[in-house]
Structure 1
Amino acid sequence: MRPSVPVAAVAVSVLLLAGCSEGGHGGRGPVEGATKGAAGAPLGDFNGDGYDDFATAIRPTSASRGPLPARLAVVYGSAHGLDPRHRLVVDGAEDDYVGPLLRTDLDGDGFADLVVARFRHGSSPGAERVGQTVVLRGGPRGLAAPRPLGG
Protein backbone atom coordinates (compact mmCIF):
# COMPACT_ATOMS: atom_id res chain seq x y z
CA MET A 1 0.00 0.00 0.00
CA ARG A 2 1.23 3.46 -0.78
CA PRO A 3 1.47 5.83 2.21
CA SER A 4 -0.46 8.48 0.28
CA VAL A 5 -3.77 6.56 0.51
CA PRO A 6 -4.73 7.88 4.02
CA VAL A 7 -3.70 11.42 3.00
CA ALA A 8 -5.77 11.18 -0.19
CA ALA A 9 -8.78 9.91 1.77
CA VAL A 10 -8.51 12.84 4.19
CA ALA A 11 -8.21 15.28 1.28
CA VAL A 12 -11.33 13.87 -0.41
CA SER A 13 -13.25 14.06 2.88
CA VAL A 14 -12.21 17.69 3.31
CA LEU A 15 -13.28 18.59 -0.23
CA LEU A 16 -16.65 16.92 0.26
CA LEU A 17 -17.22 18.73 3.53
CA ALA A 18 -16.20 22.06 2.03
CA GLY A 19 -18.72 21.58 -0.78
CA CYS A 20 -21.46 20.59 1.67
CA SER A 21 -21.01 23.72 3.77
CA GLU A 22 -21.83 26.24 1.03
CA GLY A 23 -25.40 26.77 2.22
CA GLY A 24 -24.43 27.50 5.83
CA HIS A 25 -21.66 29.54 7.32
CA GLY A 26 -19.21 28.22 4.69
CA GLY A 27 -16.72 27.06 7.29
CA ARG A 28 -15.72 30.66 8.02
CA GLY A 29 -15.53 31.23 11.75
CA PRO A 30 -16.96 29.49 14.76
CA VAL A 31 -20.27 27.72 14.35
CA GLU A 32 -23.05 29.73 15.96
CA GLY A 33 -25.21 27.69 18.29
CA ALA A 34 -22.74 24.79 18.42
CA THR A 35 -23.12 22.57 21.45
CA LYS A 36 -20.75 23.68 24.19
CA GLY A 37 -18.63 21.50 26.43
CA ALA A 38 -18.37 21.85 30.19
CA ALA A 39 -16.01 24.84 30.00
CA GLY A 40 -17.76 26.51 27.05
CA ALA A 41 -15.78 25.25 24.03
CA PRO A 42 -17.70 23.81 21.05
CA LEU A 43 -17.71 20.00 21.19
CA GLY A 44 -16.27 19.73 17.67
CA ASP A 45 -13.19 21.78 18.61
CA PHE A 46 -10.31 19.56 19.77
CA ASN A 47 -7.67 22.30 20.03
CA GLY A 48 -9.76 25.15 21.50
CA ASP A 49 -9.22 27.63 18.65
CA GLY A 50 -12.98 28.20 18.23
CA TYR A 51 -13.30 26.32 14.93
CA ASP A 52 -14.89 22.90 14.43
CA ASP A 53 -12.51 20.06 13.61
CA PHE A 54 -13.34 16.96 11.55
CA ALA A 55 -12.68 13.36 12.67
CA THR A 56 -13.39 10.11 10.83
CA ALA A 57 -12.28 6.50 10.61
CA ILE A 58 -10.71 5.51 7.28
CA ARG A 59 -10.57 1.88 6.13
CA PRO A 60 -7.97 1.59 3.35
CA THR A 61 -7.73 -1.49 1.16
CA SER A 62 -4.86 -3.23 -0.55
CA ALA A 63 -5.20 -5.07 -3.85
CA SER A 64 -3.09 -7.94 -2.52
CA ARG A 65 -4.24 -8.05 1.14
CA GLY A 66 -7.81 -6.71 1.03
CA PRO A 67 -9.13 -4.45 3.80
CA LEU A 68 -6.49 -3.06 6.14
CA PRO A 69 -6.99 -1.92 9.75
CA ALA A 70 -9.01 1.29 10.01
CA ARG A 71 -7.16 4.48 10.90
CA LEU A 72 -8.36 7.65 12.57
CA ALA A 73 -8.01 10.88 10.64
CA VAL A 74 -8.51 14.37 12.08
CA VAL A 75 -8.44 17.60 10.10
CA TYR A 76 -8.33 20.77 12.19
CA GLY A 77 -10.51 23.76 11.35
CA SER A 78 -9.36 27.32 10.80
CA ALA A 79 -10.79 30.72 9.90
CA HIS A 80 -10.83 29.50 6.28
CA GLY A 81 -12.49 26.13 6.95
CA LEU A 82 -10.85 22.73 7.32
CA ASP A 83 -7.10 22.82 6.69
CA PRO A 84 -5.73 19.49 5.35
CA ARG A 85 -2.18 20.68 6.12
CA HIS A 86 -3.09 20.67 9.83
CA ARG A 87 -4.10 17.07 10.40
CA LEU A 88 -3.53 13.99 12.50
CA VAL A 89 -3.62 10.41 11.19
CA VAL A 90 -3.53 7.73 13.88
CA ASP A 91 -2.59 4.39 12.44
CA GLY A 92 -0.87 1.34 13.69
CA ALA A 93 -0.34 -2.07 12.20
CA GLU A 94 -2.02 -3.71 15.21
CA ASP A 95 -5.01 -1.38 15.73
CA ASP A 96 -8.38 -1.29 14.00
CA TYR A 97 -10.55 1.71 14.90
CA VAL A 98 -14.27 1.02 14.53
CA GLY A 99 -17.70 2.31 15.42
CA PRO A 100 -19.01 5.82 15.86
CA LEU A 101 -16.65 8.52 17.08
CA LEU A 102 -17.81 10.35 20.20
CA ARG A 103 -16.73 13.94 20.74
CA THR A 104 -17.19 15.12 24.32
CA ASP A 105 -15.30 16.96 27.05
CA LEU A 106 -14.64 14.09 29.46
CA ASP A 107 -12.48 15.96 31.95
CA GLY A 108 -14.13 19.42 31.86
CA ASP A 109 -10.98 21.20 30.69
CA GLY A 110 -12.78 23.02 27.85
CA PHE A 111 -11.26 20.91 25.06
CA ALA A 112 -13.26 18.27 23.20
CA ASP A 113 -11.93 14.73 23.60
CA LEU A 114 -12.40 11.95 21.03
CA VAL A 115 -13.65 8.55 22.25
CA VAL A 116 -13.57 5.50 19.95
CA ALA A 117 -13.50 1.71 20.09
CA ARG A 118 -10.47 -0.14 18.78
CA PHE A 119 -9.57 -3.76 18.32
CA ARG A 120 -6.02 -4.87 18.89
CA HIS A 121 -4.97 -7.80 16.72
CA GLY A 122 -2.78 -10.55 18.08
CA SER A 123 0.65 -11.34 16.68
CA SER A 124 -0.51 -14.41 14.74
CA PRO A 125 -3.17 -14.49 11.98
CA GLY A 126 -5.61 -16.62 14.02
CA ALA A 127 -5.12 -14.74 17.30
CA GLU A 128 -8.11 -13.33 19.15
CA ARG A 129 -8.93 -9.65 18.69
CA VAL A 130 -9.12 -7.71 21.94
CA GLY A 131 -11.48 -4.72 22.00
CA GLN A 132 -11.20 -1.63 24.16
CA THR A 133 -12.48 1.92 24.34
CA VAL A 134 -9.81 4.59 23.97
CA VAL A 135 -9.76 8.35 24.37
CA LEU A 136 -7.66 10.95 22.58
CA ARG A 137 -7.63 13.95 24.92
CA GLY A 138 -8.01 17.39 23.38
CA GLY A 139 -5.68 20.26 24.25
CA PRO A 140 -4.16 23.47 22.83
CA ARG A 141 -2.03 21.45 20.38
CA GLY A 142 -4.89 19.18 19.32
CA LEU A 143 -5.49 15.55 20.19
CA ALA A 144 -3.06 13.47 22.23
CA ALA A 145 -2.17 9.83 21.54
CA PRO A 146 -4.91 7.23 22.15
CA ARG A 147 -5.08 5.93 25.72
CA PRO A 148 -7.42 3.29 27.18
CA LEU A 149 -10.47 4.98 28.69
CA GLY A 150 -10.06 5.17 32.44
CA GLY A 151 -6.27 4.92 32.11
Structure 2
Amino acid sequence: MGLCLCRSRADDNDSDVHVEFVGGNVKHVTTKEDWDYKLAEAKNEGKIVLANFSATWCGPCKTIASFYCELSEKYPSLMFLLIDVDELTEFSTSWEIKATPTFFFLKDGQQVDKLVGANKPELQKKIDAVLAL
Protein backbone atom coordinates (compact mmCIF):
# COMPACT_ATOMS: atom_id res chain seq x y z
CA MET A 1 0.00 0.00 0.00
CA GLY A 2 2.88 2.31 0.81
CA LEU A 3 1.16 5.61 0.21
CA CYS A 4 -0.99 5.69 3.31
CA LEU A 5 1.73 5.70 5.95
CA CYS A 6 4.89 4.19 4.58
CA ARG A 7 6.19 5.65 1.36
CA SER A 8 8.37 3.96 -1.20
CA ARG A 9 11.63 5.69 -2.09
CA ALA A 10 10.15 6.78 -5.43
CA ASP A 11 7.63 8.92 -3.53
CA ASP A 12 10.24 10.84 -1.50
CA ASN A 13 10.24 13.88 -3.78
CA ASP A 14 6.46 14.08 -4.09
CA SER A 15 5.50 15.81 -0.85
CA ASP A 16 1.91 16.53 -1.99
CA VAL A 17 1.20 12.82 -2.40
CA HIS A 18 2.88 12.10 0.94
CA VAL A 19 0.73 14.64 2.79
CA GLU A 20 -2.46 13.38 1.14
CA PHE A 21 -1.94 9.77 2.24
CA VAL A 22 -0.37 10.24 5.67
CA GLY A 23 -3.64 11.49 7.18
CA GLY A 24 -6.30 9.41 8.79
CA ASN A 25 -6.21 7.10 11.76
CA VAL A 26 -4.30 4.28 10.09
CA LYS A 27 -1.61 2.78 12.32
CA HIS A 28 1.43 1.30 10.61
CA VAL A 29 2.49 -2.02 12.12
CA THR A 30 6.24 -2.54 11.84
CA THR A 31 6.91 -5.49 14.19
CA LYS A 32 5.14 -8.53 15.59
CA GLU A 33 5.35 -6.90 19.03
CA ASP A 34 3.69 -3.78 17.63
CA TRP A 35 0.90 -6.00 16.22
CA ASP A 36 0.36 -7.70 19.58
CA TYR A 37 0.29 -4.34 21.37
CA LYS A 38 -2.26 -2.86 18.96
CA LEU A 39 -4.50 -5.94 19.20
CA ALA A 40 -4.41 -5.70 22.99
CA GLU A 41 -5.16 -1.98 22.78
CA ALA A 42 -8.13 -2.64 20.47
CA LYS A 43 -9.46 -5.32 22.80
CA ASN A 44 -9.18 -3.01 25.82
CA GLU A 45 -11.00 -0.26 23.92
CA GLY A 46 -13.65 -2.64 22.55
CA LYS A 47 -12.64 -1.90 18.95
CA ILE A 48 -12.81 -4.17 15.93
CA VAL A 49 -9.53 -4.23 14.01
CA LEU A 50 -9.33 -3.83 10.26
CA ALA A 51 -5.88 -5.04 9.17
CA ASN A 52 -4.72 -4.21 5.65
CA PHE A 53 -1.90 -6.41 4.35
CA SER A 54 -0.43 -4.46 1.42
CA ALA A 55 2.73 -3.79 -0.56
CA THR A 56 4.29 -0.57 -1.86
CA TRP A 57 4.65 -2.03 -5.37
CA CYS A 58 1.01 -3.18 -5.55
CA GLY A 59 -1.14 -1.11 -7.94
CA PRO A 60 -4.51 -2.08 -6.37
CA CYS A 61 -3.06 -1.31 -2.90
CA LYS A 62 -2.15 2.20 -4.05
CA THR A 63 -5.59 2.59 -5.64
CA ILE A 64 -7.42 1.87 -2.38
CA ALA A 65 -4.95 3.67 -0.08
CA SER A 66 -6.76 7.01 0.09
CA PHE A 67 -10.14 5.28 0.54
CA TYR A 68 -8.72 3.22 3.43
CA CYS A 69 -7.45 6.41 5.08
CA GLU A 70 -10.84 8.08 4.58
CA LEU A 71 -12.56 5.09 6.17
CA SER A 72 -10.22 5.34 9.17
CA GLU A 73 -11.47 8.87 9.78
CA LYS A 74 -15.11 7.99 9.13
CA TYR A 75 -15.12 5.03 11.56
CA PRO A 76 -13.17 5.95 14.72
CA SER A 77 -14.80 3.00 16.51
CA LEU A 78 -12.61 0.67 14.40
CA MET A 79 -8.82 0.36 14.57
CA PHE A 80 -7.25 0.53 11.11
CA LEU A 81 -3.86 -1.16 10.74
CA LEU A 82 -1.45 -1.31 7.82
CA ILE A 83 0.99 -4.18 7.44
CA ASP A 84 3.53 -4.04 4.61
CA VAL A 85 4.01 -7.64 3.48
CA ASP A 86 7.58 -6.88 2.43
CA GLU A 87 8.51 -5.38 5.80
CA LEU A 88 6.92 -8.23 7.76
CA THR A 89 7.35 -11.14 5.36
CA GLU A 90 7.36 -13.93 7.93
CA PHE A 91 4.42 -12.46 9.82
CA SER A 92 2.42 -11.99 6.59
CA THR A 93 3.16 -15.56 5.59
CA SER A 94 1.72 -16.74 8.92
CA TRP A 95 -1.56 -15.05 7.87
CA GLU A 96 -1.42 -16.92 4.54
CA ILE A 97 -1.44 -13.77 2.44
CA LYS A 98 -1.66 -14.88 -1.19
CA ALA A 99 -2.63 -11.53 -2.77
CA THR A 100 -2.50 -7.86 -1.85
CA PRO A 101 -4.38 -6.07 -0.57
CA THR A 102 -5.93 -8.50 1.90
CA PHE A 103 -8.11 -7.11 4.67
CA PHE A 104 -8.82 -8.97 7.90
CA PHE A 105 -11.54 -7.99 10.36
CA LEU A 106 -10.68 -9.05 13.91
CA LYS A 107 -12.78 -8.91 17.06
CA ASP A 108 -10.98 -9.73 20.31
CA GLY A 109 -8.06 -10.94 18.18
CA GLN A 110 -10.20 -13.46 16.28
CA GLN A 111 -10.94 -13.21 12.56
CA VAL A 112 -14.61 -12.40 11.87
CA ASP A 113 -14.31 -11.57 8.15
CA LYS A 114 -11.83 -11.20 5.30
CA LEU A 115 -11.64 -9.44 1.93
CA VAL A 116 -9.06 -10.04 -0.78
CA GLY A 117 -8.67 -7.28 -3.36
CA ALA A 118 -9.19 -3.55 -3.68
CA ASN A 119 -12.99 -3.63 -3.92
CA LYS A 120 -14.21 -0.37 -2.34
CA PRO A 121 -17.97 -1.20 -2.27
CA GLU A 122 -17.29 -4.64 -0.78
CA LEU A 123 -14.93 -3.18 1.84
CA GLN A 124 -17.61 -0.67 2.83
CA LYS A 125 -20.22 -3.45 2.96
CA LYS A 126 -18.03 -5.59 5.22
CA ILE A 127 -17.35 -2.64 7.54
CA ASP A 128 -21.09 -2.07 7.86
CA ALA A 129 -21.57 -5.78 8.64
CA VAL A 130 -18.90 -5.93 11.36
CA LEU A 131 -20.20 -2.77 12.98
CA ALA A 132 -23.53 -4.56 13.38
CA LEU A 133 -21.87 -7.38 15.39
Q: Do these two structures clear the TM 0.5 threshold for a shared fold by scoring above it?
A: no
Query: Which of 1 and 2 has greater Rg?
Result: 1
TM-score scaled to structure 1, two decimals?
0.28
TM-score (structure 2 length as normaliser): 0.30
Q: Which structure is higher in helix share?
A: 2
Higher relative contact order (CA 8 A, sep 6+): 2
